Amino acid sequence: MRNKNTPINYQAVTNSINELNISNLSSATIREIVKVTNIIEGKTNEKFIRMEMGVPGINPPEIGTQAEIEALKNGVARSYPMLDGIKPLKEETSKFIKNFMNIDISATGCIPTVGSMQGGYAAFLLAANLDPKKDTALFIDPGFPVQKQQFKVMNHKYTSFDVYDYRGKKLLAKLEDILSKGNINSIIYSNPNNPTWICFTEEELQIIGEMANKYDVLILEDLAYFAMDFRVDLSQPGVAPYQATVANYTDNYILLISSSKAFSYAGQRLGMLCISDAIFCKEYDSLKERFGTASIGYTIVQRILYALSSGTAHSAQYALAAMFKAANEGKFNFLEDIRDYGKKAVTTKKMFLDNGFKLVYDKDIDKELADGFYYTISYPGMDAGELIKNLLYYGICAISLSTCGSNSTNGLRICVSQIQHEQIPVFEKRINQFGKDFPINK
Ligand SMILES: Cc1ncc(COP(=O)(O)O)c(C=O)c1O
């Protein structure tokens, strides 16, 4: 008989789940899990341990806020921003990429977008129009579900595979198999990865880069969690080690660097879309035909971004320029506060594991995964839908891995960003009770 004496009122949770009218919570989107959690919190006045959405849990750096206030006071709100961004931001981004990735990209190719969300959209749109024979994008999954939604909005084709079974050298044969069909225009992945927090090794990045060269495919490297592989210290400008990147192995790339997580600046919606110098001026007949402009750089800026939002909020650009400048000059260690995510991951992950949970994605080949923004869990004997549902009664919410393109039918993504340190004892108590209430049959 199931224990109905749960940390959150049993009946209130049951009613709220029924109200949402989703038969299986494993297919619920992040926003739907947010909604059901809000309903339960409203009904019970109990606070949840929110592990569903990647909202940064850290205050934005003062340097950014001050620069933005100053820009507003100087009246930047009056005028339209240039489509390709303000000069100081472009220059500081180029330096930032050199300092923290050891990669050279000219300031011209560093273009602000309304979050990496928009940068991705623009890059996907471009990639699909380079060659009529190449009508499909390839996601190395698991991935960030909203990007698939962007494909649906555009009615573009994509294919994907779960990288779980294709780590290391196995990645080569898998990519060969897919790319040799000749219909792939681009490869998309995030590194560190949302939702699993795997980080590709140099060998894997080299494979991806070499495949991009062999099959003339554009790599869209999503660095939403820039430098957040906390196993290594990536915080010192101009000093190795650097953020790992495919840019060391191919020229066919666009990098997406978001201010949301590494700089806790999600609310101002600013990301940088950075186009490799080698392809910025590269021309394509099909771009010319569709947009009237042949080159990659010109088409992205003067056609696609112009049509999408006509530039990016002026004041936020000044904020990011100031934060990059301070980081470039060694005056601001942008990872210092952010490392707290790693600490919360260590503590909460151990609590899950001590209570019978398993990690789903557990290794970078032979290395333990880094501790950062996300990790993945499962519970023996429960599929993802049951696990999400059962955890709601214990005041914990998360999303399923299957919504992120994972083959796992029982895994959940856990995000540590919103949990406050003061909540950890509450989390521990709840997860201990969960472990006791659902004994594992050995
Ligand atoms: C992998 C990945 N890409 C892109 C984004 C969106 O970034 P932004 O807030 O800059 O639009 C996120 C945000 O969670 C993400 O996880």
Domains of the chain: 10-58+338-437 (3.90.1150.100), 62-328 (3.40.640.10)
Given this model, what pLDDT does residue 151 score?
Answer: 97
Q: Sign of the C-alpha dihedral, residues 324, 327, 332, 334?
A: positive
Q: Per-residue b/e over 318-337, b at no fewer than 16 CB within 10 Å?
A: bbbbbbbbbbbeeebebbee
Q: Are 302 and 126 in contact (CB under 8 A)?
A: no
Distance 58 CA to ligand 1 centre (A): 16
Neighbour count for residue 397 (Cβ, 10 Å): 28
Distances in whole angstroms, Cα of residue 272 to Cα of each of 168, 198, 216, 260: 29, 23, 23, 11
Given this model, what pLDDT does residue 442 score?
Answer: 62
Sheet containing strand 399-400, strands side by side: 358-359, 374-378, 412-415, 399-400
The conformational region for residue 229 under phi > 0 = left, psi -120 to 50 = alpha, else beta, is beta
Given this model, what pLDDT does residue 2 score?
Answer: 79
Distance 199 CA to ligand 1 centre (A): 16
**CA 117 to ligand 1: nearest atom:** 11
Q: What is the DSSP letter of 97?
A: H
User: What is the rounded distance in angstroms from the CA atom of residue 273 to the CA atom of residue 257?
Assistant: 7
User: What is the rounded distance in angstroms from the CA atom of residue 103 to the CA atom of residue 242?
Assistant: 9
User: What is the rounded distance in angstroms from the CA atom of residue 274 to the CA atom of residue 257?
Assistant: 8
Distance 259 CA to ligand 1 centre (A): 9
Distance 373 CA to ligand 1 centre (A): 12
Q: Are 302 and 123 in contact (CB under 8 A)?
A: no
249 sits in which H/E element:
none
Distances in whole angstroms, Cα of residue 304 to Cα of each of 260, 287, 310, 311: 22, 11, 9, 10
User: What is the rounded distance in angstroms from the CA atom of residue 194 to the CA atom of residue 82?
Assistant: 32
Instruction: Give, in degrees to the nearest 5, the angle at Cα 141 between 140 and 143.
Output: 115
Phi, psi of 402 (to 5 degrees): -65, -25
Given this model, what pLDDT does residue 55 score?
Answer: 85
**CA 54 to ligand 1: nearest atom:** 14
0.75 cut: is pTM over it? yes
Measuring from each residue's beta carbon to the nearest atom of ligand 1, which residues come in under 6 Å? 54, 115-117, 144, 190, 194, 222, 224, 258, 260, 266, 271
User: What is the rounded distance in angstroms from the CA atom of residue 439 to the CA atom of residue 386?
Assistant: 15
Closest Cα to atom 14, ligand 1: which residue? Answer: 54
Q: Which of 52, 53, 117 to mutate to test the pocket of ligand 1 (most atoms within 8 A of CB)?
A: 117
Q: What is the DSSP letter of 302?
A: I
Q: Are 13 and 6 in contact (CB under 8 A)?
A: yes
Residue whose entry in the numeric block shows the structure tokens 């796992």: 408
- Cα end-to-end span (Å), the chain: 19
Q: Which of 197, 258, 273, 403 to mutate to test the pocket of ligand 1 (most atoms within 8 A of CB)?
A: 258
Closest Cα to atom 15, ligand 1: which residue? Answer: 224
Distance 128 CA to ligand 1 centre (A): 21
**CA 114 to ligand 1: nearest atom:** 11
Distance 7 CA to ligand 1 centre (A): 33
Q: Residue 146 is encoded by which pair of tokens?
A: 């909203």
Distance 378 CA to ligand 1 centre (A): 24
Distance 408 CA to ligand 1 centre (A): 22
The neighbouring-strand residues paired with 397 are 50
Distance 117 CA to ligand 1 centre (A): 6
Q: DSSP letters along 221-235, please?
A: EEETTTT--TTS---
Residue type, 276: S
As averages over each run of 10 residues, the pLDDT of the chain (442 residues) reads 89 92 87 93 96 89 98 97 98 98 98 98 98 98 95 97 97 98 98 97 98 98 98 97 98 98 96 98 98 98 98 97 98 96 97 97 94 97 96 96 95 96 97 96 70
Residue whose entry in the numeric block shows the structure tokens 């300031």: 107
Q: Are 80 and 313 in contact (CB under 8 A)?
A: no
Q: How many helices (H) and strands (E) does the chain have?
A: 16, 15
**CA 271 to ligand 1: nearest atom:** 10
User: Taking Cα atoms as reference points, which of 4, 13, 5 lies closest to residue 42?
Assistant: 13
153 sits in which H/E element:
helix 145-154
The neighbouring-strand residues paired with 136 are 157, 184
